Amino acid sequence: MKRRTPTPPLERAATLRLVADGAHYDALIGAMRDARVSLWIATANVKELRVEAPVGTRARAKGAFVSLLDVFADLARRGVELRVLHGGLPSRAFRAELTRQPTLVRGGLSMRRCPRVHLKVVVIDGRLLYLGSANLTGAGLGAKGDGRRNFELGVLTEDDVLLDVTQARFDRIWSGAECGACKLRALCPQPLDAL
């Protein structure tokens, strides 16, 4: 078997903020709501995720939770580019909620599946980067209560070089540039380079 020479690791001093467990919710959900240009997410798993209703709404005053897809629909109405790159089939509950979101179904949210995707990335407006272990799920992003959520660690940064490298990697997968050399292509439900 011929091995490719791996890309050398990027060695760089950067300012990072460590995010652990339930702090994922506070750090990422609010930042997602504030997106103005783009929100790119890479995750192995996608499940229906409930978040607190927006501040200033009656639902929030009642302590209600809404689907993260409601947040995405609001972002889509504001013209924010929404990309979700995922590895597995989204949960049944996520798919059911998506069908109730006409703004998203008509093209506000772009989702692409690559079975090899295991990276967990959130890039907001090309200015804020999350790299870590959390999937796009309630247990991963800390929406579940203490004692029920996953143990997760990640970092947040605004480092422009790390953002550029991560966005380029995301875009290579998104655009199908990795599909030609993929040894799992025959098993892929829909190769991205065929879209």
| CB-CB neighbours of 82 under 10 Å | 21
Residue 8: its pLDDT value, please?
62
For 25-57, the pLDDT digits (tens) are 999 999 999 999 999 999 999 999 999 998 888
Residue 159: its pLDDT value, please?
97
Averaged pLDDT, 89-103? 93
Question: What phi and psi, each to the nearest 5 degrees, are found at residue 61?
Answer: -60, -30
CB 88 within 8 A of CB 44: yes
| CB-CB neighbours of 97 under 10 Å | 19
Which domains, and CATH codes, for the chain? Answer: 17-176 (3.30.870.10)
| CB-CB neighbours of 2 under 10 Å | 3
